[in-house]
Chain A
Amino acid sequence: MGRTTAQPLSAGDAVLGLVIELPGNSYQLEQRLEGRFGSAQFSHATAYHALKRLAKQGLIRPVEDSSPAPLSAASPLPAPAPLSTTSPAPLSAAAPLSAASADADVADLPATAYEATPAGIAHFRRWLRASTATPPLREELQAKISFCGPEDLPRMVAIVREAELACAAQLEDLNERMRRQRLLDRDDAWRRLTGMIVTAGDVAWWDARIKWLQTLRQYLQREGQRYAVERRQSTSPPRD
């Protein structure tokens, strides 16, 4: 039987891809990670820890001389390097650092800018071209509903309402990130196109979830009202 489930997007893969596009320090990468994959809701300092891990694995290394081009988090990003096999690697073919020396370098100037090593680029290409499986659906709300009783319905309706509001807020955040990203990608047609497709994927997720929550809320509300009426009728004294 084929593999049907997969782990969600790993922060390491995402950060490595961003470093290959453009070297940067942990603060800049944190900002870019949020801008590009905000819906993944990586926790704060994710990029920092991912950079440490990637450097330890020899997939990235500190930029030896980053002084000529100080990277500002606010500056627009230049066009990313293409990742096709036919185009040259965006970085020089220097040997990857050993794990030990990378670890020593990482320990650590916090604002150190990192670039990918050839090993990192090869690793990323393998990841990019590997098959992608469907992530598992582990939905807490579904589990709660499967265990709730009729007396829990009002609370379930409130929970679903909160979830719907949270989704709408996520959609607003996504729209805001998309606006910012579109401004950065203004002059890069390819990045604009992939950005639009990725955003559409995020939006489709929130759209489906909001619609499911809306249907669920109405259904639970109706059942809650029916149950309340039934309970009133069963507890009220019979008329003579």
Chain B
Amino acid sequence: MSVLSLTGVCLSFPRGRRHVIPVLASVTLQIDAGETVSVLAQRAQGKTSLLRVAAGMERPDRGQVCFEGEDLWGFSERRRSRLLGDQIGWVRPVVPDLDMPMLTNVALPLFATHGKSEAYARATGALERVGAQECAQQFWGSLADWERALVAIAQGIAREPKLLLVDDLTLSLGLGETEEITRLLDTLATEQGFAVLMSVSDAGATGWSGRVATLAGGELLETPKLPAQQGNIIDFPGVVKPGANDPRHDIST
């Protein structure tokens, strides 16, 4: 069963009585646990809106949004809100509301659901997992962009989510840093078994994603997956592959 499933999702924003701004047009997407999907789109093409719909923060005009097979909009407001605070992690490198050490910042959203000491323990663990333990006592203003991205990921995974939504996290990062961040997300998704849906505005940020979809004009395009092929099915002339049919590998002769 998919962690997240969007089926025929349409979204538009009304502007006055006559005008409507179309954002998503019949978007269909499925993500399984442990998978990383990148959505590549330019500015103002609905990347963040797609993530908001996936998180249950935005109600689509049409279509279905299912989390672990259950329709998000069949949930009560309270349950949907709890889901967002508990099983869906949201990652973006924005300036925190309160100026306090990063450990407190990562722990703060968990206070209500997990209690103070458990929240701090989880925050410490999350910062260690992303390799940002040295940022624990730092304040936002003193962090580099790269460290801010790590702290944002720590905040997202501290609640041990089943789905991590990552909004253009690598926008301000360089080549090597972008690769490290995308590799980290892929490793975390594989190890901890959560699904990752990330929006990116640069193809370089799709680096370690197993799947790449493109979004423009509200249309999400993704190549349908074929069953994996075993080995190279095309033989080229004069080439003997190492294997059982190669007489040099036959120990009986």
Contact = CB atoms under 8 A, between A and B. Distances in A.
A37 interface: no
Contacts of B240: 27, 110-111
A215 B203 CA distance: 15
B242 A27 contact: yes
A214 B176 contact: no
A196 interface: yes
B248 to A, nearest CB: 8
Contacts of B52: none
Interface in A191-240: 196-197, 200, 203-204, 206-207, 210-211, 214-215, 217-218, 221
Contacts of B227: none
Contacts of A178: 207
Contacts of A73: 241-242
Interface in A160-204: 161, 164-169, 171-172, 175, 178-179, 196-197, 200, 203-204
Given A44-B234, A214-B214, A217-B217, A72 B176 contact: no
Nearest to A111: B240
A197 B204 CA distance: 11
Contacts of A210: 40, 203, 214
A171 B206 contact: yes
Interface in B186-245: 202-204, 206-214, 216-217, 219, 221-223, 234, 236-242
B206 A175 contact: yes
B42 interface: yes
Contact of A165 (B40, B223, B234, B236): B223
B204 A207 contact: yes
B145 interface: no
A161 B236 CA distance: 32
Given A172-B211, A210-B40, A203 B203 contact: yes
Interface residues of B, number: 35
Given A164-B214, A168-B40, A45 B223 contact: no
A115 interface: no
Which of A26, A111, A171 has its CB near the most chain B CB atoms (within 10 A)? Answer: A171
Which of B41, B236, B246 has its CB near the most chain A CB atoms (within 10 A)? Answer: B236
A108 interface: yes
B206 A27 contact: no
B191 to A, nearest CB: 16
B42 A196 contact: no
Contact of A175 (B175, B212, B242): B212
Contact of A171 (B212, B246, B248): B212
A197 B221 CA distance: 28
A4 to B, nearest CB: 27
A110 B176 contact: no
15 contacts: A48-B236, A73-B241, A73-B242, A164-B221, A165-B214, A165-B223, A172-B211, A175-B207, A175-B208, A196-B175, A204-B203, A214-B45, A214-B216, A215-B42, A218-B216
Interface of B: 40-42, 45, 175-176, 179, 202-204, 206-214, 216-217, 219, 221-223, 234, 236-242, 246, 248
Question: Which 10 pairs of residues, A with B, have the shortest CB-CB distance?
Answer: A207-B203, A45-B236, A214-B216, A110-B238, A218-B217, A169-B223, A44-B236, A111-B240, A168-B212, A203-B204
